[in-house]
Amino acid sequence: GAGVSQSPSNKVTEKGKDVELRCDPISGHTALYWYRQSLGQGLEFLIYFQGNSAPDKSGLPSDRFSAERTGGSVSTLTIQRTEQRDSAMYRCASSLGPEVYETQYFGPGTRLLVL
Amino acid sequence: EDQVTQSPEALRLQEGESSSLNCSYTVSGLRGLFWYRQDPGKGPEFLFTLYSAGEEKEKERLKATLTKKESFLHITAPKPEDSATYLCAVQANAGNNRKLIWGLGTSLAVNP
């Protein structure tokens, strides 16, 4: 089937506004991951979902960041009161299960620009 | 602190000129080491997972090897289509941890 999809592909917002980024994983994949990739920086882990629960939220940078996953499928990453330093490429990945041998497949990303 | 360092940052090769990319890591117990390829404007694409020192995996012109401190991605007789950024990541062996620690990548350019 289709790969991981993310929307929007680009988002420009003003400082202080809230934004929602969406990830649609590969059908049947139970594990879902959010990452942030800034210019000159490596991929930064944000949060991991197994089904609808999030056993590892250790990468969320502040309480302005939250994520949810419903129906074991689509996930939404919400950034409240955006700041210019939130500007980055946000990438989602999914895998069949949570084990290390399960390949993570990445989506095309959402490029966020906070003015 | 878990850390991944990749070298060189950038590498330019002539077509057919073999070379190796390095990924050095420090992690509190390795669950797995991953190599990904990333083309401009796209998400990372999985290449290999290595689990224990001495393990090797091959795919076409690429071969990945692993020791207790580093991994190498050997590229044999590269072609221009091998041009990309190659990313290395590790996952620590700790409870519910599923976090991947990523290096900054090696940008490879293969000239025809």
CB contact under 8 A, B43 and A58: no
CB burial readout A68-99, b (16+ within 10 A) else e: ebeebbebebebeebeeebbbbbbbbbbeebe
Interface probe with B: pick from A34, A100, A106, most Cβ of B within 10 Å: A100
What distance in Å separates residue A109's CA from the closest CA in chain B? Answer: 7
B26-80 pLDDT, tens digit each:
988 898 999 999 999 889 999 999 999 999 999 999 999 999 999 999 999 999 9
115 residues of chain A, pLDDT tens digit each: 589 999 999 999 999 999 999 999 999 999 999 999 988 788 999 999 999 888 888 889 999 999 999 888 999 999 999 999 999 999 999 999 877 677 899 999 999 999 9
Contact A102, A96 (CB under 8 A): yes
Query: What six digits make up the tokens of A72?
Result: 């074991």
Query: What's the CA gap between B84 and B80, in Å, rounded?
Result: 9
Q: Is A56 on the interface with B (CB under 8 A)?
A: yes
Closest Cβ–Cβ partner in A43, A107, A108 for B102: A43
Closest Cβ–Cβ partner in A98, A100, A105 for B49: A100
> Which residues in chain A have their CB less than 8 angstroms from residue B44's CB?
43, 91, 106
Which pLDDT does position B96 carry in this prediction?
Answer: 65
CB proximity list for B40: less than 8 A, separation 6 or greater: none
Q: Quick count: other Cβ atoms within 10 Å of Cβ A39?
A: 7
Q: Is A29 on the interface with B (CB under 8 A)?
A: no
B73-110 pLDDT, tens digit each:
999 999 999 999 999 999 887 766 778 899 999 999 99
Interface probe with A: pick from B98, B101, B107, most Cβ of A within 10 Å: B98
Provide residues of B within 8 Å CB-CB of chain A: 4, 31-32, 34, 41-46, 49, 51, 87, 89, 91, 96-105
Residue % of chain B over a pLDDT of 70? 98
Q: Is A93 on the interface with B (CB under 8 A)?
A: yes
What distance in Å separates residue A101's CA from the closest CA in chain B? Answer: 7
> Which residues in chain A have their CB less than 8 angstroms from residue B32's CB?
100-101
